[in-house]
Structure 1
Amino acid sequence: MKIVLAPDSYKNSLTAKQVAESMQKGLEKVLPEAEYVQVPMADGGEGTVQSLVDAKKGQILTETVTDPLGKETQAHYGLIDDGKVAVIEMAEASGIQYINKTTANPYITTTYGTGELIKAAIAHGARTIIIGLGGSATNDGGAGMAQALGAQLLDKDQQQLLYGGEDLINLDRIDTSKMLPELAETKIVIASDVTSPLTGVFGASYVFGKQKGADEHMIKVLDRALTHYSEVIKRDLGRDVAKIEGAGAAGGLGAGLLAFTNATIHSGVEIVVEYTELKEKLKGADYVFTGEGQIDFQTKFGKTPFGVAQATKSVDPKIKVIGIAGSVGDKISELYPTGIDAIFSCVPGVEDLNTAIADTDKNLQQVCENIGRLIR
């Protein structure tokens, strides 16, 4: 019997690799003779770097970069495939964890640090860079990222724009002549499941601005600034990014990457499926165990268990897919037609969140042992 263990991380508790290990320990208690294949997964958000580094036996590096508020911070990124491929989560340098209710201000927050991570990865020899978009504190359209890579975003006095989304309204012209030369031979793979365009009522400012500290007036100002920014990009760079699906991800960083680099947008979990070679590892499997902190009807919109189920059924519809979560939410019956055959919660009873998080390893082992007994 072959069992593939392909879970996402459980937020604030276990990494994807640790989840897979817990699952295997529980199953081995009753199915010791089975062949187990661990494939730590992610969907492009938090945990993507760790999952791909674990799956590909890569390395994690630390870089001193600029946080969204312009201060120094330490951020991590991964190198896989003998350093040829880098994996970056933009939130590491430009994430919402760097701001609070007092400091949140998308007028000034910047993606400059994300650009510094890209620059560091290129300096280490990476020529393919996977960038997970999500959890940003920014609304600058990736302007800071471009500036870190050498782009000149100039106002009418030919001065470089200030950090943040507000000053984009003053953009007069873009000069890319001093951008990092290696960018021309670097492939950027954007991992995101956000479909919002850069501008408009469904764009970055209107959909995500409030959670980054923008009030109704600021949202309108930021959207006007991004609209102007996209018009200058179209004029000076010849790229029309305003209405591309996903351009509004991470406060418009998607648009910035599409405008200033050789970037393409893909589903996060599909990228992880590809780079972990999950489909190859699924061949000959009898069961697949997947999961994440919560499984509910939203899981079908590109979350890891959905992506794993889709990949599994494409390899062999007979392979059974079992999802395990800390919390099982609403309308999970909608997931069964997507390829997930059964869904379980690993929480054994009523307990507070902190206890449930602390006991995740033990609880996962217990539920997997019980599922293993049913299989046997």
Structure 2
Amino acid sequence: MQILIVPDHFKGSLTAQEAAAAIHVGFQAIFPDWQYQLLPLADGGEGTLDLLLQALSGERVAVPVQDPLGRIMEADIGIVDGGHTALIEMAQASGLLLLRPDERNPLQTASTGTGELIRAALDQGCRKIVVGIGGSATNDGGMGLLTALGLRFYDASDKLLTPSGAALAQVRQIDTQHVDERLRDCTVEIICDVNNPLLGAFGATYMFGPQKGADTKMLETLEAGLKNYAACMEKTIGRTIREIPGSGAAGGVGAACLAFLDAQLRPGIEVIAELIDLDEKIRSADLIITGEGCIDAQTVRGKTIAGVARRCQQFGKPLIALAGSRSGSADALRELGVAVVLTSIPRLGEEAEIFAGGTEDLRETARNVATLLRLGGERL
């Protein structure tokens, strides 16, 4: 039996590599003679840079940048294709996991560090820049990213604004005169893990703000600010971008890159799948196992599990999805072709305690799945 194990990371608990290893150990305890292929995945968020560098044989370059709260740190960019192409992972500079839980406040955070990574790629002479924008801590509409590349934002009194989620409501004018000229000769490709629009119930703020630390009042403030900001952007560029799928990714960074970097937005899992020839690997497997930290309403909107599920459905292959937790109905995933959805958290507790037990819990869940398969006669 050929088993393909293709999980994404379990946010805050396990990398994709660690998740794949835990699932493998659990299954192998019951079926030691089966053949296993471990293929950790990413969709634009944490782990994307590592996966791309492994697939494309590139080199890392360390860059000093600002973290989401403006503190100086180092983040990596990848250089591939003989120095022509740069690979950037937003989570490296502006990621949620860079902050302690008590520091998460999207009114205060900014995406400046990601813009600094793009600027560093230009300094390296790269003329194609691929940016994975999942896993962000920000809801600033890409204001920080654009500021790092030379744009300026002013309020009603012509005062220069410092990027943040709170500053979105104050923007009245966007000055593009000083944008980095090197961008004119550069292609920017954005890979994102969701296809949400910028505004509304499924937009940047209401879908992703809570996990970034926003309470109900913050959500209302951020949404109002983002609506004002969107109007200013659209007035500046002369076209509407707020409804474009993916414009709401990374707290509006998708919209900023569409508006001012002439970027192309692509689903992260689709880019990764092409690079690693995922279709052929699924076609050759008898059973596929995927997973992520939390299965929720976001999962079907471009996440790794959804991308894997569509491929398994296309080739008529059974798919099991494992997660740390799940919220809402799993019916949408079943419609995509997921045969079984299981969660691995066996107890209530503090977040740090639950995350610390992630490997053991996932391994035990995988073992239970394998045991059920054995009891059922192993027919797939």
Q: TM-score, normalised by structure 1?
A: 0.78
Q: Partner of 1:12 in structure 2?
A: 12
Q: Partner of 1:320 in structure 2?
A: 318
Deviates more, 1:179-188 or 1:53-62: 53-62
Distance in 1, Cα, partners of 2:39 & 2:2: 13
Pair 162,226 (structure 1): closer, same or farther in 2 beyond 3 Å: same
In the TM superposition, 1:19-98 aligns within 5 A as: 19-28=19-28, 34-54=34-54, 56=56, 58=58, 60-79=60-79, 85-97=85-97
Deviation, structure 1 residue 83: 5.8
Letter aligned with residue 336 of structure 2: T
Deviation, structure 1 residue 181: 0.8
Pair 167,283 (structure 1): closer, same or farther in 2 beyond 3 Å: closer
Q: Is the 8 A contact 1:184 1:262 kept in 2?
A: no
In the TM superposition, 1:1-376 aligns within 5 A as: 1-28=1-28, 34-54=34-54, 56=56, 58=58, 60-79=60-79, 85-97=85-97, 106=106, 108-124=108-124, 125=126, 127-139=128-140, 141-153=141-153, 160-167=160-167, 169-182=170-183, 184-198=185-199, 204=204, 212-213=213-214, 216=217, 219-220=220-221, 225-295=225-295, 299-314=299-314, 316-317=315-316, 319-327=317-325, 331-332=329-330, 335-345=333-343, 353=354, 356-360=357-361, 362-363=363-364, 366-367=367-368, 370=371, 373=374, 374-375=377-378
Deviation, structure 1 residue 148: 0.9
Deviates more, 1:356-365 or 1:211-220: 211-220
Pair 297,97 (structure 1): closer, same or farther in 2 beyond 3 Å: closer
CA deviation profile, 1:261-293 (whole Å, cap 9, x unmatched): 122333333333233321132233222121223
Deviation, structure 1 residue 245: 3.8
Q: Is the 8 A contact 1:4 1:38 kept in 2?
A: yes
Letter aligned with residue 335 of structure 2: P
How many pairs align?
A: 370
Deviates more, 1:248-257 or 1:87-96: 87-96
Deviation, structure 1 residue 295: 4.3
Specify every segment of 5 or more residues in structure 2 that has no aligned partner in the other structure, as ranges: none
SS of the aligned residue for 1:138 comes to coil
Deviation, structure 1 residue 104: 5.8
Q: Is the 8 A contact 2:68 2:111 kept in 1?
A: yes
Q: Is the 8 A contact 1:86 1:121 kept in 2?
A: yes
SS of the aligned residue for 2:190 comes to strand
Distance in 2, Cα, partners of 1:292 & 1:217: 27
Q: Is the 8 A contact 1:91 1:134 kept in 2?
A: yes
Deviation, structure 1 residue 191: 0.5
Specify every segment of 5 or more residues in structure 1 that has no aligned partner in the other structure, as ranges: none
User: What is the aligned-residue RMSD (CA, Å)?
Assistant: 3.9
Deviation, structure 1 residue 300: 3.5
Deviation, structure 1 residue 113: 0.8
CA deviation profile, 1:108-134 (whole Å, cap 9, x unmatched): 532211101122234443614132234
Q: Is the 8 A contact 2:322 2:344 kept in 1?
A: yes
Letter aligned with residue 70 of structure 1: G
Distance in 1, Cα, partners of 2:295 & 2:104: 30
SS of the aligned residue for 1:197 comes to coil
Q: TM-score, normalised by structure 2?
A: 0.77
Deviation, structure 1 residue 370: 3.3
Deviation, structure 1 residue 360: 4.3
Q: Is the 8 A contact 2:25 2:363 kept in 1?
A: no
Deviates more, 1:272-281 or 1:351-360: 351-360
Distance in 2, Cα, partners of 1:291 & 1:209: 23
Deviation, structure 1 residue 170: 4.7
CA deviation profile, 1:302-347 (whole Å, cap 9, x unmatched): 4322321211222x21x22222334466644553332122344557
Pair 226,323 (structure 1): closer, same or farther in 2 beyond 3 Å: closer
Q: Is the 8 A contact 1:149 1:180 kept in 2?
A: no
Deviation, structure 1 residue 258: 0.9
SS of the aligned residue for 2:45 comes to coil
